């Protein structure tokens, strides 16, 4: 399982969105626009799948990177 993160526009830090997903499930998922309250700046942020990454055991997994390329 991995932590789905997005970059905070105010601080530039990667922050967790509250979603935890397997990277393969994330790649296949049809996620619409979502929002969360940012841990870095305390403000609400809207995001969509194209802006998100999955952090898995300290490694970054991009949404459209084939598993064989990891």
What are the sequence ranges of the domains in the chain? 2-63
User: Residue 65: which of 53, 57, 48 has the closest Cα?
Assistant: 53
How many Å apart are CA 33 and CA 64, to the nearest integer?
18
pTM of the model: 0.76
Give me the average pLDDT of each 10-residue run along the chain (70 residues).
94 93 92 94 95 78 45
Which residues have CB under 8 Å from 22's CB, separation 6+? 1, 2
């Amino acid at each position: 399982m991995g932590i789905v993160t997005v970059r905070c526009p105010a601080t530039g830090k990667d922050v967790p969105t509250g979603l935890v997903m397997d990277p393969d499930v994330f790649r296949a998922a049809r996620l619409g626009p979502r929002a969360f309250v940012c841990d870095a700046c305390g403000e609400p942020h809207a995001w969509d799948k194209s802006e998100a990454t999955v952090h898995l055991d300290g490694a970054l997994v991009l949404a459209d990177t084939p598993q064989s390329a990891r």
